[in-house]
Amino acid sequence: MFDEFSDTDLAAYLEEDLDANKASKLEATLINDKHLQDRLHTIRLQIAVGEHSLGSIWRQNNLGCPSRKTLGGYLLGILPNDQKLFIQSHIEIRGCLTCQANLADLEEQQTQNQEELTARATRYYKSSIGHLSQRRQDES
């Protein structure tokens, strides 16, 4: 029997690292599929004791993820065909969430007003710098 969802998919789902389309398909299937529920449970136990599949190790460490610069080239459409096909497959079929986020961010940088982006970063800076100073004091 061919399982629509692999163990690596199930682990990705549990680790919030599964592509949105696949995740909603999985959730819809889970409701009535006892076999899938059991498999998910098994994977959850494996993760809890620190066991990961080859596919999970590949995914968790972002092996093969293109750099931001390469993603920029992809957006501009200036990459060689084969490389373009790899990135497309990586983002759309393999569904790499990290690269999807990087791509969305690069697009936003092109379209959104620079002041707004700086204001956002400043908010994060202000809400975290106190914490950083505190940590430094604790250490010294």
Partner 1 sequence: MAEVDKLLIQEIRSGADDAWMRFVDRFSGRLQAFVRKKIRDSATVEDIVQETFIGFINSLPNFDESRPIDSFLFTICRYRIIDHFKKTGRRPDISSLTTTDSQQQIELPDAIRGASTIYRSGERRRAEENALLQILQQEVTLLIENEAWIKLACLELIFVSSTPNKEIAELLQLSQPQVASFKHEFVDKIKRQMLRLGVNADLFPELYPDQQA
Binding positions for partner 1, rule: CB under 8 A = 2, 5-6, 8-9, 14-17, 20, 40-42, 44-55, 57-65, 80, 82-83, 85-86, 89-90, 93-95, 97-98, 100-102, 104-105, 108-109, 117-118, 120-125, 127-129, 131-132, 135-136, 139
User: How far are the Cα atoms of 13, 14, 20, 83 from residue 5, in angstroms, in the given order?
Assistant: 10, 13, 14, 27
DSSP 94: S
* Distance, CA of 118 to CA of 23 (rounded, Å): 33
Residue 10 binds which of partner 1, Zn ion, none (CB < 5-8 A, kind-dependent): none
CA dist 95 and 134 (Å) reads 39
| Residue 97 is a binding residue for Zn ion (CB under 5 A) | no
Closer residue to partner 1 (CB): 14 or 75: 14
